[in-house]
Amino acid sequence: MAVLVGRKAPEFKADAVVNGKFESVSLTDYKGKYVILFFYPLDFTFVCPTELHAFQEKLEQFKKLNAEVLGVSVDSKFSHFAWVTTPKKQGGIEGVTYPLISDLNKTISADYDVLVEGAGIAYRGLFLIDKEGVVQHQVVNALGLGRSIDEALRVLEALQFTEEHGEVCPANWQKGDGGMKPSDDGLKDWFKDK
């Protein structure tokens, strides 16, 4: 598995379903914004719709943080459209408005090194890309392990805190917590009150 943190995020341009319509989407469309790029195995499966709905439920929180959410799977744009027009009670993702990108030729999944060898689907990869297009965080789950959307929000808030204050975020940092200076003195000050 490649570590992309600290590197430019691999560029892509692909077909997508965005708010129920077919569009072409590229990573450069989002320059100047933070991007939560997440991969999921397949449309019309089991853990995947729980994640896609969970991202939709938090979408406004991401947008308030100047972040866009993009989902990617190896399905066609037509499969994405069929799934997004299927009601939730029937296993669909009706109501999901953020872009669902079609990686039918599997190049995006391969470029982000989340393609499952021999299976032709992607692991549950999540990449936080900063406003300059650099990967700042990545996490990859096995197929059966759903991810925490709250953790994706927390890491985005932590990144923005470090950018704004020049301090680092210690373990279990939450929005509203202070950071610490990245030095011996900063560490000692942090533990002084603990």
pLDDT, tens only, 63-105: 999 999 999 999 999 999 999 999 999 999 999 999 999 999 9
Predicted local distance difference test score (pLDDT) of residue 193: 75
> Model's pTM, two decimal places?
0.96
**Domains within the chain, CATH numbers bracketed:** 13-147 (3.40.30.10), 148-194 (no CATH)
Residue 188 pLDDT more than 80? yes
Just list the catalytic residues.
48
Predicted local distance difference test score (pLDDT) of residue 1: 66
**Per-position DSSP letters for the chain, written without gaps between them:** ----TTSBPPP-EEEEEETTEEEEEEGGGGTTSEEEEEE-S-TT-SHHHHHHHHHHHTHHHHHHTTEEEEEEESS-HHHHHHHHTS-GGGT--TT--S-EEE-TT-HHHHHTT-BPTTT-SB-EEEEEE-TTSBEEEEEEE-TT----HHHHHHHHHHHHHHHHHS-B--TT--TTS--B-SSHHHHHHHHHT-
**Percent of the chain predicted with pLDDT > 70:** 99
